[in-house]
C-alpha cells in the first residue's frame, strides 16, 4: 500500500544539521517533514561527540581515583578503585537517551512531522519511505518543494581489515561489554587518540599506529608537543611512520611496516580502526539526482545549494570540516534562506577541537598558514605554567597562542592546548567573527583566577607588555 504526503520542506537525516534545520524551519512557519532511518541525533548524539566525551570523562575520573590510591599528593587517599564497565556504559547511554528524547520533544513542540524509516530518493522532489507498522509494510511517498540532504558520514573501513570480530570502529569502541587487555589503534588523528587515551586510562595496554611521522599530522609540532609528552607518560606505545598491512594469519596481531619496509607484528586482542570518515552517499538513491561532487562529497555553494534547484545539502555529506557545529550552522542558514532571508555561510572560522589529554583547539590561521598566505604577522604564546588557575587545577601543561596581522593587529587565529581549553574556543571564534584586534582583547577585563586570563596575556605579550611572564 502506498500513501502520499506533501510538504514544503523534506529533510533526509535527523542528525545535528537535519534536526536544527527542521526546528528553525518550523519556527519560520515552513511545513517540514524529517525522515530518519535510525535514532534522532545522528552520529553526534548517539555514537560520536556526546558518548565519546562521556566515556572520556569516565576514564578521567577512574584514572584520578587510581592516582589518589597511590600518591595522595593533595591529601586525598582512597582505596584501590574498581571499574564496572557495564555501569559506565549504562551511564553514558543514559546521557545519550536524555538528549535524543530532548531532540524528539523539540521537534514535536515545533510541529515537525518525523517519519522513521529509510528514505529512497525518486527525484529532486520525491522520496519514498518504507515503513513497518503493526506487522504491516507500507510505502509513504513524500512530495516536497525543497529537499534538504543531511545524511552525515560513516567510518572509513580498510579493505584489508574490514570491521567485524576483533576489528572495530569508534561506534563499537564506545559501548564495550568488556575491555581488551591489548588495543591497537590504527590512526593517530583525533578520534583514535581520544579513544586510545580513554582506553589506556581504563587500564588497557594501548598502541597507536600512524602512517605519518607524527600524531595529529594537521597540527604543528609545538601545539602537539604537550600531548605527545602525555601519551608517553600514560604508557601509550606509538608506532609513527608505520603502515598497517592487516592482521596476521592467526588473527592475534597487527602486521605493520616502517619506512624501511621492515615488517613487524603488534599483539592485539582488539583493533580500533580510526582512519577517518567519509560522506554517507550510498543507500538512499542519491545517484538518481545527478548532482555535482567534490571527490566523494556533494558540491555546494556558500548557501549550501547543490547543482539542482531547491535541493540543498549540509554537514558531513558536503565534506570539508566534518563537525557537528558546522552542520548545525548550515542547517539553520538553509531554513532562513527558504523562508526568504538573505544568508550566506561564510564564517570567519570554524573551531576544531581534539578532546585529548591535554585538549587541543585550533581556530583560524596558525603561524605557518599565515606565512604560507604571505601575511606579515606577529604571534605570541602564554604558558599555563604561569596561570594561577591552572596551578590550582593541578595541570599546568600547555599554552594559548595568538596570531595577528603585523600592520593593524587584527586577530587571524588562536591555538591552545591544555586542560579545559575547549571552553576557550568560544572566546577565540567570537574575536575572529567580530574582527577584534589585539588591543581589544588586551583591554578586556578578564576574570581572575581563570584559564581565560591566558587569552588576555597572550594578546598582551603580542603587543609587548605581558604582565605575568
Fold of 2-47+90-154+278-338: FAD/NAD(P)-binding domain (3.50.50)
The domains of the chain are located at 2-47+90-154+278-338, 157-275, 352-463
The residues annotated with a catalytic role in the active site are 448
Fold of 352-463: Enolase-like; domain 1 (3.30.390)
**Cα distances (Å, whole numbers) of residue 229 to 214, 237, 397, 398:** 12, 12, 10, 11
Q: How many CB atoms lie within 10 A of CB 304?
A: 25
210 in Cβ contact with 218 (< 8 Å): no
Q: Taking the model in full, what pTM does it have?
A: 0.96
Q: How far apart are the C-alpha atoms of 242 and 122, rounded to whole Å?
A: 45
Backbone angles phi, psi at 384, to 5 degrees: -70, -15
- How high is the pLDDT of residue 78? 83
Q: What does DSSP assign to residue 289?
A: G
82 in Cβ contact with 1 (< 8 Å): no
Do domains 2-47+90-154+278-338 and 157-275 share one topology? The answer is: yes
Q: How far apart are the C-alpha atoms of 146 and 314, rounded to whole Å?
A: 13
Residue tagged 574556543 (cell numbers): 425
Q: Tens of pLDDT along the chain (469 residues)?
A: 789 999 999 999 999 999 999 999 999 999 999 999 999 999 999 999 999 999 999 999 999 999 888 766 788 888 889 999 999 999 999 999 999 999 999 999 999 999 999 999 999 999 999 887 777 888 999 999 999 999 999 999 999 999 999 999 999 999 999 999 999 999 999 999 999 999 999 999 999 999 999 999 989 999 999 999 999 999 999 999 999 999 999 999 999 999 999 999 999 999 999 999 999 999 999 999 999 999 999 999 999 999 999 999 999 999 989 999 999 999 999 999 999 999 999 999 999 999 999 999 999 999 999 999 999 999 999 999 999 999 999 999 999 999 999 999 999 999 999 999 999 999 999 999 999 999 999 999 999 999 999 999 999 999 999 999 9
Of 86, 135, 96, 107, residue with least CA distance to 36 = 107
How distant is the alpha carbon of residue 244 from its chain centre?
24
Contacts of 209 (CB under 8 A, 6+ apart): 184, 185, 186, 187, 188, 239, 242, 244, 254, 256, 266
- How high is the pLDDT of residue 240? 97
User: If you write DSSP's letter for every residue of 308-376 in order, what string do you get?
Assistant: STTEEE-GGGG-SS--HHHHHHHHHHHHHHHTT-------S---EEE-SSSEEEEEE--HHHHHHTT--
* CATH number of this structure's domain 157-275, picked from the four choices 3.40.50.300, 3.50.50.60, 3.90.550.10, 3.40.50.720: 3.50.50.60
- How high is the pLDDT of residue 80? 86
Amino acid at each position: 500500500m502506498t500513501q502520499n504526503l506533501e510538504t514544503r520542506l523534506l529533510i533526509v537525516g535527523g542528525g545535528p544539521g537535519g534536526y536544527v534545520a527542521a526546528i528553525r524551519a518550523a519556527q519560520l512557519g515552513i511545513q517540514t517533514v524529517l525522515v530518519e532511518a535510525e535514532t534522532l541525533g545522528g552520529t553526534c548524539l548517539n555514537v560520536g561527540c556526546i558518548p565519546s566525551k562521556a566515556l572520556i570523562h569516565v576514564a578521567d575520573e577512574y584514572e584520578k581515583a587510581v592516582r589518589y590510591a597511590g600518591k595522595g599528593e593533595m591529601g586525598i587517599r582512597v582505596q584501590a578503585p574498581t571499574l564496572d564497565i557495564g555501569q559506565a556504559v549504562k551511564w553514558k547511554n543514559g546521557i545519550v537517551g536524555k538528549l535524543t528524547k530532548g531532540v524528539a520533544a523539540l521537534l514535536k513542540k515545533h510541529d515537525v512531522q518525523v517519519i522513521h524509516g529509510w528514505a529512497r530518493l525518486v527525484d529532486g522532489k520525491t522520496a519514498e519511505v518504507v515503513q513497518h507498522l503493526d506487522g504491516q509494510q507500507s510505502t509513504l511517498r513524500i512530495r516536497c518543494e525543497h529537499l534538504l540532504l543531511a545524511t552525515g558520514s560513516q567510518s572509513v573501513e580498510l579493505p584489508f581489515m574490514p570491521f567485524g570480530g576483533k576489528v572495530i570502529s569508534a561506534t563499537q569502541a564506545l559501548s564495550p561489554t568488556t575491555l581488551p587487555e591489548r588495543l591497537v589503534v590504527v590512526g593517530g588523528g583525533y578520534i583514535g587518540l581520544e579513544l586510545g587515551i580513554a582506553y589506556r586510562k581504563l587500564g588497557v595496554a594501548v598502541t597507536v599506529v600512524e602512517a605519518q611521522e607524527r600524531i595529529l599530522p594537521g597540527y604543528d609540532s609545538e601545539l602537539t608537543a604537550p600531548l605527545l609528552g602525555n601519551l608517553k607518560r600514560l604508557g601509550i606505545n606509538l608506532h609513527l611512520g608505520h603502515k598497517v598491512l592487516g592482521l596476521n594469519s592467526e588473527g592475534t596481531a597487527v602486521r605493520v611496516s616502517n619506512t624501511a619496509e621492515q615488517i613487524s607484528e603488534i599483539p592485539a586482542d582488539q583493533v580500533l580502526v580510526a582512519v577517518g570518515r567519509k560522506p554517507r552517499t550510498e543507500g538512499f538513491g542519491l545517484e538518481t539526482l545527478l548532482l555535482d561532487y567534490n571527490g566523494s562529497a556533494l558540491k555546494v555553494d556558500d548557501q549550501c545549494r547543490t547543482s539542482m534547484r531547491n535541493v540543498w545539502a549540509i554537514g558531513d555529506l558536503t565534506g570539508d570540516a566534518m563537525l557537528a557545529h558546522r552542520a548545525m550552522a548550515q542547517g539553520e542558514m538553509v531554513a532562513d534562506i527558504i523562508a526568504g532571508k538573505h544568508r550566506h555561510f561564510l564564517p570567519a572560522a570554524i573551531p576544531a577541537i581534539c578532546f585529548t589529554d591535554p585538549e587541543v583547539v585550533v581556530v583560524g590561521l596558525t603561524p605557518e598558514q599565515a606565512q604560507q598566505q604571505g601575511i606579515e604577522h606577529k604571534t605570541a604564546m602564554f604558558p599555563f605554567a604561569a596561570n594561577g588557575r591552572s596551578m590550582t587545577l593541578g595541570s599546568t601543561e600547555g599554552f594559548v597562542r595568538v596570531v595577528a596581522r603585523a600592520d593593524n593587529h587584527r586577530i587571524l587565529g588562536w591555538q591552545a592546548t591544555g586542560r579545559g581549553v575547549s571552553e576557550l574556543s568560544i572566546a577565540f571564534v567570537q574575536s575572529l567573527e567580530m574582527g577584534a584586534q589585539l588591543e581589544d582583547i588586551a583591554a578586556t577585563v578578564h576574570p581572575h583566577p581563570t584559564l581565560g586570563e591566558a587569552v588576555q596575556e597572550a594578546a598582551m605579550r603580542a603587543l609587548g607588555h605581558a604582565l605575568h611572564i
